Amino acid sequence: MKTEVCDRFGIEFPLFAFSHCRDVVAAVTNAGGFGVLGAVAYSPDRLEEELRWIDEHVGGRPYGVDVLVPGKIAKEAADGRGSLLSAVPPEHWRFLSGLFEKYGVPAPSPEALGDPRVDGVGRQVTQQGATELIDVALAHPIRLIASALGPPPPVMVERARAAGVPVAALVGTVEHARRQVAAGADLIVAQGGEAGGHTGEISTMVLVPEVVDAVAPLPVLAAGGIATGRQMAAALALGASGVWCGSVWLTTEEAETLPAVKAKMLAATSRDTVRSRSRTGKPARQLRSAWTEEWDSPASPGPLPMPLQMIVAEGAMAPIGKAAEAGNEGARQLANYFVGQVVGLMNTVKPARQVVYDMIEEFADALERLNRITND
């Protein structure tokens, strides 16, 4: 296969795999695609460690890094001073304690909630925190750096240009795409509302051709609703130069998805996701669970702005995950994770490599069928 992005990125298949798991990133890159490590959950030291591991496992093949630099965040975080934990209102801590009690989950100790790593999760999505991650990433032989939310900030564009690394940006509307191009993006990822994680409301089927026309001749990757070769063929028919998949890796053998969440994903139908602010403070598609239902209920104080809600959610999800593994039923009800509507098509555990090969094979079948339809 050959599209603009295959040539440009030196890959066999125009299939980009977004994952927080280094094993998935390396497996997809080694299978002929392009792995992209989501760096938001990592401290600079940890990111350094992950990228060193990837370098050792991909033999010079191309991969990238994705960071989250939101434009609008809570002012406490933007200040960059003091503990973000102390900016979470007591009302929200009370609501959280109430949830642990209601679902019979052992409440985490105040020390666990005050864990500096939890504070760090909030810190990394600030301008300063993200810049540290960008510097770590650009010191490795990465071939792409992506801005997961909002236009790439000038510091990202400048440093990436200096390092000769193209910049990608995820967009949910045509207006965002134009803004991201003006900010210096070299590659646009048009992500439909059916996608997992932070997402808008325009579907992939509508968004991709709109964005392709708006940013031509820049190449566009399609994201959202793509987990099979038929969907990859559809995305390329819409005019995309490749696809960007995130959800499909969550049920692979390599994925570090919590077993309780993985089991939920394997059982879920396409109706079992919801776009909710309850995990990060911005609308993000995820498994519908007691967590999303409670935070989005009238009894809730409402999700906090990013990154404060991330702090609350990340601090809670670790003990919830642990309790779910130990068989706690309430914890299993609460457990969730970001995933798109394609979760309904994710029904078996496979190695990430196999997902790539299956997609390419199904892509070829879909194209053969299209040709048969047209030539008959």
Which residue, 94 or 369, has its beta carbon nearer to a copy of itself? 369
Amino acid code (one letter) for 186: D
Q: What is the DSSP string of 349-372?
A: -B-HHHHHHHHHHHHHHHHHHHHH
Tell the smallest beta-carbon distance from residue 172 to a copy of itself (Å).
9
Among 341, 352, 353, 356, binds a copy of itself (CB under 8 A): 341
Among 342, 346, 352, 355, binds a copy of itself (CB under 8 A): 342
User: Under rule CB under 8 A, how many of the chain's residues touch a copy of itself?
Assistant: 48
How big is the CA angle at 80 (ends 49 and 37), to the nearest 5 degrees? 30
Identify residues 169-188 at the interface with a copy of itself (CB under 8 A): 173-175
> Residue 294: which of 127, 103, 83 has the closest Cα?
103
Among 94, 102, 161, 271, binds a copy of itself (CB under 8 A): 271
Give the Å distances, CA to CA, from 39 to 21, 66, 145, 157. Answer: 10, 6, 10, 17
Give the β-pairing of 63-67 and 34-38: parallel
Which residue, 99 or 189, has its beta carbon nearer to a copy of itself? 189
Tell the smallest beta-carbon distance from residue 238 to a copy of itself (Å).
5
Q: Which residue has the tokens 């911005």?
A: 282
DSSP state of 248: G
Which residue, 151 or 225, has its beta carbon nearer to a copy of itself? 225
Identify residues 194-223 at the interface with a copy of itself (CB under 8 A): 194, 201-207, 209-210
Which residue, 109 or 371, has its beta carbon nearer to a copy of itself? 371
Which residue, 5 or 156, has its beta carbon nearer to a copy of itself? 5
Name the segment binding a copy of itself (CB under 8 A); options: 65-73, 121-129, 190-198, 253-261.
Answer: 190-198
Among 129, 152, 225, 283, binds a copy of itself (CB under 8 A): 225
Distance of CA 63 to the CA centre of its chain: 16
Sign of the torsion angle spanned by Cα atoms 28, 14, 152, 171: negative
Which residue, 166 or 200, has its beta carbon nearer to a copy of itself? 200
- Those residues whose C-beta lies under 8 Å from the C-beta of residue 171, and which sit 6 or more positions away, are 177, 180, 188, 189, 190, 191, 211
Which residue, 79 or 175, has its beta carbon nearer to a copy of itself? 175
Angle between helices 204-215 and 229-237 (to 10 degrees): 40
Which residue, 225 or 246, has its beta carbon nearer to a copy of itself? 225
Angle between helices 22-30 and 44-58 (to 10 degrees): 30
Among 70, 224, 283, 303, binds a copy of itself (CB under 8 A): 224
Provide the binding-site residues for a copy of itself, judged by CB under 8 A. 1-3, 173-175, 192-194, 201-207, 209-210, 224-226, 228, 230-231, 233-239, 269-271, 340-342, 344-345, 364, 366-367, 369-371, 373-374, 376
